Structure 1
């Protein structure tokens, strides 16, 4: 069994290229969790999915905690909500840096951080990628599958589906703030089915299909 590192937060020592955070906020919300994980959850940026105070992805905000509820329901997360204990699961953002309240990343800011996100994703080398929301789903489908042109990013229809990628299985997750009845249950059911399957074959299958 591989052992990348035992560090939980920022396991590869990434350093953000800029600091635009408000006083009291973390400069960046780094990747967090089990660096040997098979499941990698990918959010957008701290202002939406949380962590500007805790330094942990998917904390603090309504959307972040809703996603964390999925991880708890499926056995990936336990312990404190601001510093969960994760097993077989890693969390990170496409845009890790904190920004002033109410400010969203620009296209240039996303581009500045692409290499950091890509380096961490490939170092984790998970079997299952779980992008949360349209921005993260677009990024993952463009860069890690050959199938982006097949989809119009209608997240309601992509939610909890399986998409073969280049060495990965991609399971998009609709933005939690937009969930309606059945969306929580759908992603929980999909994750439970994957955990019950031989999902580790994803690497070989996806390489030939994607």
Structure 2
């Protein structure tokens, strides 16, 4: 049984390699949640999925709140919406640094932060990766599965599906602002189905048990 740490926010003490924010603004939104989790929720950056004020991923923005509601529906989250208590779920971003309001990180900035994200993902060592939106899904499929070349990045089609990775099971999540009538229910149903079986994987073999 792994026991990474009991720290909830930034459990590995990461320090952002650059800062594009003003003197009174938050520099970065670090990983947050249960560092011993089996489920790792992965977003894009704070400007999209939230946390610029709270410091907690998947809060404040429309997309972040929608994901938070799903986490509550399946029993991952409880307590305050801006600083929930998470069990069996860890949340982080591909790009943890806060870009200036209204701006998007550059490709170079994404590249600089890639090693930080990768190190944290491997330290958490979750079984199920839950990338949200095109950017996070593309990165996870490219880096942690052998499937990216075989799959179109059609998030409507990939949403709430199961893709076997290199020691991970990947469940892509369509950007919540683009959800249609049944997308929320499909995601909740998929997560409940996974939780209802033995979802553990043998690391490095990419074989799902159960």
The two structures have a TM-score, normalised by structure 1, of 0.96
Q: Which residue of the partner structure matches residue 143 of structure 1? A: 143
Q: Which residue of the partner structure matches residue 74 of structure 2? A: 74
Say if 1:22 and 1:101, in contact at 8 Å, map to a contact too.
no
Aligned mates of 1:4, 1:201 — CA distance in 2: 18
* Helix, strand or coil at the partner of 1:90: strand
Say if 2:167 and 2:201, in contact at 8 Å, map to a contact too.
no
- Which string of whole-angstrom CA distances, capped at 9 and with x for unpartnered residues, describes residues 168-197 of structure 1? 000000000100100000000000000001
Say if 1:24 and 1:53, in contact at 8 Å, map to a contact too.
no
* Helix, strand or coil at the partner of 1:201: coil
Say if 1:128 and 1:168, in contact at 8 Å, map to a contact too.
yes
- Which string of whole-angstrom CA distances, capped at 9 and with x for unpartnered residues, describes residues 94-144 of structure 1? 000001111101100100100000000000000000000000000000000
Q: How far has the Cα of 1:2 moved from its partner?
A: 1.4
Question: How big is the alpha-carbon RMSD for the aligned residues of Structure 1 and Structure 2?
Answer: 1.3
Q: How far has the Cα of 1:203 moved from its partner?
A: 3.8
Q: Which residue of the partner structure matches residue 172 of structure 1? A: 172
Aligned mates of 1:184, 1:53 — CA distance in 2: 26
Q: Which residue of the partner structure matches residue 97 of structure 2? A: 97
Q: Which residue of the partner structure matches residue 15 of structure 1? A: 15
Q: Which residue of the partner structure matches residue 56 of structure 1? A: 56
Unaligned runs of 5+ in 1: none
Structure 1 segments, 4+ long, off by >4 Å, are none
Aligned mates of 1:20, 1:33 — CA distance in 2: 25
Q: How many pairs does the alignment contain?
A: 208
Aligned mates of 2:68, 2:140 — CA distance in 1: 20
Q: Which residue of the partner structure matches residue 125 of structure 1? A: 125
Unaligned runs of 5+ in 2: none
Q: How far has the Cα of 1:147 moved from its partner?
A: 0.7
Aligned mates of 2:22, 2:180 — CA distance in 1: 33
More helix by share: 1
- Which string of whole-angstrom CA distances, capped at 9 and with x for unpartnered residues, describes residues 6-48 of structure 1? 0000000000000112443310000000000000000000000
Say if 1:167 and 1:207, in contact at 8 Å, map to a contact too.
yes
The two structures have a TM-score, normalised by structure 2, of 0.96
Q: How does 1:36-51 map to 2 (within 5 A)?
A: 36-51=36-51
Q: Which residue of the partner structure matches residue 190 of structure 1? A: 190
